[in-house]
Chain A
Amino acid sequence: MRVPLSWLKEYVEITQSPQELAHTLTMAGLEVETLDYIGADWGDLIITAQITHLEKVPGSDHLSYTRINTGSGEIGVICGAPNIKEGDKVPLALPGARIGDLTIGVARKMGYVSEGMLCSPRELGLGSDHSGIYILDPETPLGVKLADLLSDVVLEFAIKAHRGDLSSIIGIAREVAALTHKPLRLPEPRFNEQGQPAAELVKVTVEDRELCPRYSARVISGVKIGPSPDWMARRLLMAGMRPINLIVDITNYVMLEVGQPLHAFDYDLVREHHIIVRRSRDGEEITTLDGVPRRLRNDMLLITDPQGPTAIAGVMGSAISEVNEGTTRILLESANFKPASIRRTAVALGLRTESSSRFEKGLDPELTIFGANRAAQLMAELAGGQVHPGIVDVYPQPVEARSILFSPAEVEWLTGLKVTSRQVHEALSALEFKVEEVSAAADAAGGEQLLRVTIPTFRGDIEEGADLVEEVLRMIGYDQLPATVPEGPLPEPQGDHWFEREYEIREILIGLGLHEILTYAMTSRQRMLNLLAEVNAQTAQVLLQKPADDGQAGWVIASAQERAGSEDDLASDGRKPFDARSLPAVTIANPLSNELECMRLTLLSGLMETLQENSKRNRAGLRLFEIGRRYLPRGAGELPEERRCAGLALCGPAAISWVPELARPADFYDLKGIVETLLERLHIRRYRFSAAQHPTFHPGRCAVLEVGRPGMDNGERFTPVGFLGEVHPLVQQRYDLPHRAYLCELDLETLYAAVPERLNYAPISRHQELTRDLAVVVDQQVPARAVQEAIERHGGELLRTVALFDVYTGTPIPPGKKSLTYTLLYQARDRTLTDAEANALQERIVAALGEEFGAVLRS
């Protein structure tokens, strides 16, 4: 809402500077977004002038050459605007004047010398109109600095959604008056009524009284259509509207002034002179004033005549009964419409207008008469109109001013600000609330002072005590609020520790040299399918899988109802091209782009894309992680399952370094080491990594991590947490990375289920430890974990730790074999172990390894 200060001053005396006024209003909740100083940059070289002569420039289709009277002489100016004629008074920018970034100079064009520039309203900062030169009032003196005549300050407000009453100059003036303790001066529309009564000239039928609580109409005849007077045109321009013709401008002017949207019909084009307000019927169409044909839905409110729609109520009129050059009689509509209906219609049509934005915030039905009368007055005064007696006013249920019983003590109760009853009284009265003291009723607690506050009908936003507290606070000033510390009791601890847990993971991974990234939760199906070496209905299932909820082993597929692809796809050999659209995901109905069309099912695509982005400018390797959610779809109409996850990515060396170990590109064991350290830091001791297949990963370099949970019968169940591995070369290709990439995605909910609730201290044995080394040769294919587990199993309680410290292949180890060397530490809790005991255990282990894996001791 743009409010020219000069206009505002018509209704309230303003003694503050524009900045002070803006501050006062801003503090009271009417935020002034900008102060627009019109004319501040015009300087001395933009003056008023008159076109004395105009000729077309030969060879140009739009340029004219004009002679301009500057008040002190005559100059020539080339101009391209279509709207000028001899005799027009215009703003002239002389050489040296600045218009925006442009400095006016003397130009030679097509054989003419142009010694200045005529300006459009937009060039002068007077509004957005750039369709022609700004034509000044014919009474304007010549050769005067434009700034002396027309400079102004425009305050631009962001009107909040609940205050439709503030979408007008008078609405703002009312607040200014209340805040600065000045009287509000409302215009009093006075005009003569004559001729046939309006009631005989027009019939109004409101079929839908719910959506149209009031419809008031006046008839004005004998109007002359022409341009608006300069003062009105300029005010419209400064308020951000474009002058059109006097009648339309008056309706817009009154809307801006009093806040009541009006519509002027050409009375003679309203068929049968009958206005019918009704909902649209399915399939009806209307071409609105902007020339766009619009198909209407059956719940939209229309203004019609017996033959069809003439306007979309409260939104926009149509050409059918539009005011035109030949119009002489006006049917003036001043109506009130239900906010939600107007809003729904405007949103559905994508057509937001000055009118609809006012109606949707809620307007006072009492305002229609004032608006109609004000417009009638201006049409009589400016357009020579004759106002017919009376108003056709369909207003079946007049609004009644509501009243609230309000205790001034509520102000302190809610805000901590001590106020007297008198202050409350004054604050509310200033805002035109009617305040009466009610003698303390017997049932009022403690016989406190109560006020009966009658709410003006234009304040539909005020419903209860808290609303009045805010009004009082606005008037007394938010800056008067004291600042205290909450002293109430503290709540019981809540059970959710996820915030702390996620930060625990963050700190651990950062300590391990990984950088945290934060990517969009929105992605596209295609971006996620890029993670699969081979895309088909079966491989796509990995995007939907999650650990079984009840701690069961294995994975389950989210969204049982909507499996990826059809049964056909599943049965096929997977060579058929996979339709990305068949991947179930939380789909955004109105995405910003195809790249952001659904919610992610995995963190890995964001990690890969971030690797790709950064690898272009990073010679060192990349180590990244993200903590966020996967959004697994559930049934239709249900919220998705949001699973907390951590994704890890390594690519290339840890650093550009002279230290070979750091400069070495990351490999599988770097990633696994990070995951193992994470497990250690979380005190998760029972876990296992097993070789696994996953369509994102190298088939020989992928593991699944499972964590152990105590199960029935002292047994242990292993629940999957996530995969880790080297990215499959076919996937790697798509991201154009300079090194092999390693990815891991961990389901944090399963991971944390394995974190011990408490740590148990085991006393440290003081008895001697015996260490033995053990080197065995086994087949290459034997997993190290199996050997380690066998050693642990056969070593029993006395075997404290087993550590692998060498893995070797090559001479003298036979081909196809590998040597594994462990150091074993034997210790008893309660006695000193003898060499003989340790040796016996060692032999037992060797024998067992021989039996289980065909392992032989390395000589």
Chain B
Amino acid sequence: MIEQLDALLAQLDALQERALRELEAINSLAELEDWDVRYLGRHRGELKNFSTLIPKLGKAERPVIGQKINAVKEKLESALEARRQELRDRELREALERERLDVTLPGRALPAGHMHPISRTILEVARIFTRMGFQVVQGPEVETDYYNFQALNIPVDHPARDMQDTFWVVPGEILLRTQTSPMQIRVMQATRPPVRVIVPGKVFRHEAIDASHEAMFHQIEGLLVDERCTMADLKGSLARFAREMFGEDRRVRFRGSYFPFTEPSAEVDIDCILCKGSGCRLCKYSGWLEILGSGMVHPRVLREVGYDPRKYRGYAFGMGVERIAMLKYAIGEIRLFSGNDLRFLRQF
């Protein structure tokens, strides 16, 4: 019996050795499954065959063989599991390798559009002033002589009309607005103080078109009227605008000027954004850049809309959007804005 036992044990050792050797050679999960069935199969597996011998053994031998069978089984199972894991890892690695992409190829992007620099500049200016409590309104682009000129203290035959050569629809009556200022009148006629509005929009001038002149361009008008506003407030508001628009260290300079619908009037300069005031080609060696015209609403204009100039004060300003954009983005040629060359537009 002992010999038989020893023989069985030796057979089991041999089986284990053979199975492990075969397992080493296996290279696919399919072969692995075959191996599993062959050795560890519940019904015909080689190890199972040994188990069926157990009842035929003596009482003393049975546990020995049983333990041996279990040991071999555990050994094979853990080897199988390890091998399976190895193969799975390898297969995954290979699959990942196969799926490698050229990540430097351009993405499947939905092409993005761009906002026109004029729209962008208007939006930026509007945001700055809405933070100061202004509301944005717009008005008609084809206007009457009354709103564009007369109500703004520019009567017929006033030389200030020279400053704004006009496209006429009905000469003397209907025109393409030369400024956004007519909305000052329309807004004040429609409401009572306090008034805080900005008015962006198209304006038109009958001018020969060149690198710095356009027949159609854009302005932003600002108007504030209440019972306490002063020219110092105008300066403070515009200083804040200049800092937000052109940089924190921007300085603002007020100097005397003339507009028929403001009194006193002021031209507003900022220190040159390029040379910081030391003088360069952009600022024509003056150190300063003119950015807008402004002033306190003329008492005649206030009276025209039925506001009592002894009670109400207001300030108004108007800036050219193209000029602001040209300064902000260092654009040297105004015609680019209406040229709509995508090579230009795509930069904004």
| A486 x B236 contact (CB < 8 A) | yes
With A486-B236, A586-B142 known as contacts, the answer to whether A521 contacts B202 (CB < 8 A) is yes
| B337 x A515 contact (CB < 8 A) | no
Query: For the complex, is B224 an interface residue (Cβ under 8 Å from A)?
Result: yes
| A503 x B123 contact (CB < 8 A) | yes
| A484 x B232 contact (CB < 8 A) | yes
Query: For the complex, is B158 an interface residue (Cβ under 8 Å from A)?
Result: yes
| B232 x A161 contact (CB < 8 A) | no
Q: Which of chain A's residues has its CB closest to B154's CB?
A: A161
Query: For the complex, is A763 an interface residue (Cβ under 8 Å from B)?
Result: no
Query: For the complex, is B211 an interface residue (Cβ under 8 Å from A)?
Result: no
Question: Which residues does chain A contribute within 8 Å of B113, judged by CB atoms?
Answer: 509-516, 623, 625
0/1 string, A54-72, CB within 8 A of B gives 1: 0000000000000000000
Stretch at the interface among B20-28, B93-101, B170-178: B170-178
Q: CA of A494 to CA of B187 in the docked complex: distance in angstroms?
A: 10
| B257 x A29 contact (CB < 8 A) | yes
Interface residues of A in 160-206 (CB under 8 A from B): 160-163
B159 CB to nearest A CB, Å = 4
Query: For the complex, is A340 an interface residue (Cβ under 8 Å from B)?
Result: yes
A159 CB to nearest B CB, Å = 10
Question: Which residues does chain B contribute within 8 Å of A414, judged by CB atoms?
Answer: 230-231, 264, 296, 313
| A483 x B239 contact (CB < 8 A) | yes
Stretch at the interface among A148-156, A461-469, A697-705, A824-832: A461-469
Interface residues of A in 331-367 (CB under 8 A from B): 339-341, 343-344, 357, 360-361
Interface residues of A in 508-544 (CB under 8 A from B): 509-522
Q: CA of A487 to CA of B228 in the docked complex: distance in angstroms?
A: 8
Interface residues of B in 215-239 (CB under 8 A from A): 215-216, 224, 226-233, 235-237, 239
Query: For the complex, is B271 an interface residue (Cβ under 8 Å from A)?
Result: no
A445 CB to nearest B CB, Å = 10
Query: For the complex, is A478 an interface residue (Cβ under 8 Å from B)?
Result: yes
Q: Which of chain B's residues has its CB closest to A496's CB?
A: B137
Question: Which residues does chain B contribute within 8 Å of A511, judged by CB atoms?
Answer: 112-113
Query: For the complex, is B307 an interface residue (Cβ under 8 Å from A)?
Result: no
B162 CB to nearest A CB, Å = 7
B89 CB to nearest A CB, Å = 34
Interface residues of B in 160-211 (CB under 8 A from A): 160, 162-163, 167-171, 173-174, 176, 191, 193-197, 200, 202, 204, 206, 208-209
| B341 x A614 contact (CB < 8 A) | yes
Q: Which of chain A's residues has its CB closest to B313's CB?
A: A414
With A27-B256, A470-B264 known as contacts, the answer to whether A642 contacts B140 (CB < 8 A) is yes
Q: CA of A255 to CA of B345 in the docked complex: distance in angstroms?
A: 52
Query: For the complex, is A622 an interface residue (Cβ under 8 Å from B)?
Result: yes
Interface residues of A in 644-669 (CB under 8 A from B): 654-655, 657-659, 661-662
- Among B114, B157, B255, the residue within 8 A (CB) of A516 is B114
Q: CA of A457 to CA of B126 in the docked complex: distance in angstroms?
A: 44
Query: For the complex, is B66 an interface residue (Cβ under 8 Å from A)?
Result: no
Q: CA of A360 to CA of B204 in the docked complex: distance in angstroms?
A: 25
Stretch at the interface among B5-13, B57-65, B69-77, B128-136: B128-136
0/1 string, B31-73, CB within 8 A of A gives 1: 0000000000000000000000000000000000000000000
Question: Which residues does chain B contribute within 8 Å of A520, judged by CB atoms?
Answer: 215-216, 338
Query: For the complex, is B323 an interface residue (Cβ under 8 Å from A)?
Result: no
Stretch at the interface among B78-86, B103-111, B326-334: B103-111
B105 CB to nearest A CB, Å = 7
Question: Which residues does chain A contribute within 8 Å of B141, judged by CB atoms?
Answer: 521, 629, 631, 642
Query: For the complex, is B343 an interface residue (Cβ under 8 Å from A)?
Result: yes
0/1 string, A491-515, CB within 8 A of B gives 1: 1011010111001001001111111
Query: For the complex, is A599 an interface residue (Cβ under 8 Å from B)?
Result: yes
Interface residues of A in 575-593 (CB under 8 A from B): 586-592
Query: For the complex, is A479 an interface residue (Cβ under 8 Å from B)?
Result: yes
0/1 string, A451-476, CB within 8 A of B gives 1: 00000000000001111011001100
Query: For the complex, is A439 an interface residue (Cβ under 8 Å from B)?
Result: no
- Among A361, A517, A623, the residue within 8 A (CB) of B340 is A517
| A29 x B135 contact (CB < 8 A) | no
For the complex, count residues of B whose C-beta is within 8 A of A: 97
Query: For the complex, is A415 an interface residue (Cβ under 8 Å from B)?
Result: yes
| A662 x B216 contact (CB < 8 A) | no
Q: CA of A515 to CA of B112 in the docked complex: distance in angstroms?
A: 8
Q: CA of A627 to CA of B343 in the docked complex: distance in angstroms?
A: 20
Q: CA of A166 to CA of B194 in the docked complex: distance in angstroms?
A: 38
0/1 string, B261-304, CB within 8 A of A gives 1: 00111110000000000000000000000000000101100000
Question: Which residues does chain A contribute within 8 Å of B215, judged by CB atoms?
Answer: 520, 522, 592, 596
| B200 x A484 contact (CB < 8 A) | no
B70 CB to nearest A CB, Å = 50
| A478 x B224 contact (CB < 8 A) | no
Question: Which residues does chain A contribute within 8 Å of B264, judged by CB atoms?
Answer: 414-415, 466, 469-470, 473-474
A271 CB to nearest B CB, Å = 32
With A339-B159, A470-B263, A518-B337 known as contacts, the answer to whether A499 contacts B230 (CB < 8 A) is no
Question: Which residues does chain B contribute within 8 Å of A483, judged by CB atoms?
Answer: 232, 235-236, 239, 252
0/1 string, A206-239, CB within 8 A of B gives 1: 0000000000000000000000000000000000
With A27-B256, A416-B232 known as contacts, the answer to whether A478 contacts B342 (CB < 8 A) is no
Question: Which residues does chain A contribute within 8 Å of B158, judged by CB atoms?
Answer: 161, 340, 343
Query: For the complex, is A488 an interface residue (Cβ under 8 Å from B)?
Result: yes
- Among A489, A589, A614, the residue within 8 A (CB) of B169 is A589
Q: CA of A484 to CA of B232 in the docked complex: distance in angstroms?
A: 5
- Among A361, A486, A637, the residue within 8 A (CB) of B174 is A637
- Total A-B residue pairs with C-beta atoms closer than 8 Å? 277
Query: For the complex, is B253 an interface residue (Cβ under 8 Å from A)?
Result: yes
Question: Which residues does chain A contribute within 8 Å of B137, judged by CB atoms?
Answer: 494, 496, 499
A160 CB to nearest B CB, Å = 4
Q: CA of A483 to CA of B309 in the docked complex: distance in angstroms?
A: 22
| A515 x B114 contact (CB < 8 A) | yes
| B342 x A640 contact (CB < 8 A) | no
| B106 x A589 contact (CB < 8 A) | no
Query: For the complex, is A610 an interface residue (Cβ under 8 Å from B)?
Result: yes
| B138 x A498 contact (CB < 8 A) | yes
Query: For the complex, is B144 an interface residue (Cβ under 8 Å from A)?
Result: yes
| B115 x A506 contact (CB < 8 A) | yes
Q: CA of A614 to CA of B346 in the docked complex: distance in angstroms?
A: 12
| A662 x B114 contact (CB < 8 A) | no
With A29-B256, A343-B157, A416-B230 known as contacts, the answer to whether A485 contacts B237 (CB < 8 A) is yes
A587 CB to nearest B CB, Å = 7
- Among B194, B202, B258, B346, the residue within 8 A (CB) of A163 is B258
| B115 x A510 contact (CB < 8 A) | yes
| A466 x B263 contact (CB < 8 A) | yes
A33 CB to nearest B CB, Å = 10
Q: CA of A499 to CA of B135 in the docked complex: distance in angstroms?
A: 10
Question: Which B residues form the contact surface with A (CB < 8 A)?
Answer: 105-106, 108-116, 118-119, 123, 126, 132-133, 135-138, 140-144, 155-160, 162-163, 167-171, 173-174, 176, 191, 193-197, 200, 202, 204, 206, 208-209, 215-216, 224, 226-233, 235-237, 239-240, 252-258, 260, 263-267, 296, 298-299, 309, 313, 337-343, 345-346
Cβ contacts A to B, 26 pairs, < 8 Å: A29-B255, A30-B256, A360-B159, A414-B296, A414-B313, A415-B230, A469-B263, A473-B231, A474-B256, A482-B236, A483-B232, A483-B239, A486-B132, A486-B133, A496-B138, A510-B112, A518-B340, A521-B202, A586-B169, A588-B169, A589-B167, A592-B209, A613-B339, A623-B113, A627-B119, A654-B111
Question: Which A residues form the contact surface with B (CB < 8 A)?
Answer: 26-31, 160-163, 339-341, 343-344, 357, 360-361, 412-417, 464-467, 469-470, 473-474, 478-479, 481-491, 493-494, 496, 498-500, 503, 506, 509-522, 586-592, 596, 599, 610, 613-614, 617-618, 622-625, 627, 629, 631, 636-637, 639-640, 642, 654-655, 657-659, 661-662
The 5 closest A-B pairs by CB, nearest first: A29-B256, A416-B232, A470-B264, A488-B226, A416-B230
Given contacts A161-B162, A491-B191, A518-B119, list 9 more A-B pairs with CB under 8 A.
Answer: A414-B231, A415-B230, A415-B232, A464-B299, A473-B264, A483-B232, A484-B235, A654-B111, A659-B108
